[in-house]
Amino acid sequence: MQHQSKLPNVGTTIFTVMSALANEHKALNLSQGFPNYPSSQKLNDFVSRAMNNGYNQYAPMAGNLDLRLAISNKYQLLYKSTYHTEKEITVTAGATQAIYTIISAFIRQNDEVIIFKPAYDCYEPSVKVNGGTVIPIQLSAPDYKVEWEDVASKITPKTKMIIINSPHNPSGTIWSKDAMLQLQKITKDTNIIVLSDEVYEHIVFDGEQHQSACLFEDLKQRSFITASFGKTFHNTGWKIGYCCAPEHLMSEFRKVHQFNVFSVHHPSQKGIADYMQDAETYLSLNSFFQQKRDLFLSLISESRFKFKPSQGSYFQVLDYTAITDEYDVDFAKRLTKEFGIASIPLSVFNKKGKDDNVLRFCFAKTDETLVKAAEILCKI
């Protein structure tokens, strides 16, 4: 049988490639963004308790009510912003499912979606499989700053959505208040939907504040916010996330969500809801990860790599132009094979041919792992 692929150019992701290479060569894996330390025992116990207390059947489609209340309370605490627990919050199978479902609910054939590159790799395929057209806007190292005249020039009557991500994966940069105001201005009085990927919202450094889309009233009315408990609570394998949006958007989201997954793991939802009753479980993350970032950067300060400290997320980009002029994919593979450390080359997230000669390293690792990684990097 012959079938025409809807995603003919999609192959194995760079995350799978680099992790497999790391396993093959027994290298330190600072490529894929997952912690190598355990989830909180207290949280694990809450989930076990939920199982033992009978939370083992389908959760409500929108998510466990206690968890939706905890999410709503968090937005009120952090941003003084309100999302209705019944109508404007939905728990999802991770942020990736939320993103895919948002795009599926709204993007039709030939609709245009603006994506800022380097971009996390789930955005573009989700647009294409739904018949949309990606309009890429390339940002450049080391600042990855948006030029708003360029954005304005790309908006057409076909523009249906703009996808943003802050703190940004893979660059570790954050969007400023001014950038969010520019986005609000450029989308005002349009039908453009904003998909704001905020999975690293609790990981912002040096006293800066996360500029959530919900802080800007007009922007909030056209925005989905996606988030990830896996990123927040160090358990990416649980695949529990959520999204928030005004009712007129969320009602369309749920039409697709109910036939996509309907609901997600109920005891995990209940356990997370109980865990979130103590706000320090997420408020403490900034200092936790800043300590890891600062340790990592202090240990590689004498290396030949150049860097601007990550502003947010648990990724650090390192510039290797003082070491080699190799293509970043080739250099990343060579580091894994010859030096025993795996990273992610950023060119795979850019428009084709754009290579800034930088690699992304994940510092959501034990201090012992970061010390070992730095020893290797300082020898290169």
pLDDT at 245: 98
pLDDT 10s digits, 231-255 = 999 999 999 999 999 999 999 999 9
pLDDT higher than 90, residue 347 = yes
What domains are defined for the chain? 14-32+284-377 (3.90.1150.10), 41-278 (3.40.640.10)
- Distance between CA 291 and CA 269 in Å, rounded? 29
Percent of the chain's residues with pLDDT above 90: 96
Q: What is the pLDDT of residues 195-244, one digit of tens each?
A: 999 999 999 999 999 999 999 999 999 999 999 999 999 999 999 999 99
pLDDT at position 3, please?
86
3-state secondary structure of 63: coil
Please state, in angstroms and rounded to a whole number, the distance separating the CA atoms of residues 149 and 155: 10
Q: Please tell me the distance from the alpha carbon of residue 162 to that of residue 166, in angstroms, as a whole number.
A: 13
- pTM beyond 0.75: the answer is yes
Q: Is the pLDDT of residue 84 over 90?
A: yes
Q: What pLDDT does 29 receive?
A: 96
Angle of helix 285-299 relative to helix 367-377, nearest 10 degrees, comes to 30
CB 102 within 8 A of CB 258: no
DSSP codes, 126-188? HHHHTT-EEEEEE--TTT----HHHHHHH--TTEEEEEEESS-TTT-----HHHHHHHHHHHT
Query: How far apart, in whole angstroms, are the C-alpha atoms of residue 113 and residue 133?
Result: 6
Distance between CA atoms of residues 47 and 198, nearest Å: 24
Residue 44 has pLDDT above 90, yes or no: yes
Task: Report d(CA 171, CA 168) in Å as an integer.
Answer: 6
107-120: pLDDT as tens digits: 999 999 999 999 99
Per-residue pLDDT of 130-169, as tens digits, reads 999 999 999 999 999 999 999 999 999 999 999 999 999 9
Question: Mean pLDDT of all residues in the chain?
Answer: 97
- Whether the predicted pLDDT of 32 surpasses 90: no
Do 316 and 363 form a contact (C-beta atoms < 8 A)? yes
Report DSSP state, residue 87: T
Looking at residue 8, its pLDDT comes to 87
Q: What is the DSSP secondary-structure string of 313-361?
A: SSEEEEE-TTT----HHHHHHHIIIIISEE-EEGGGGSSTT---SEEEE
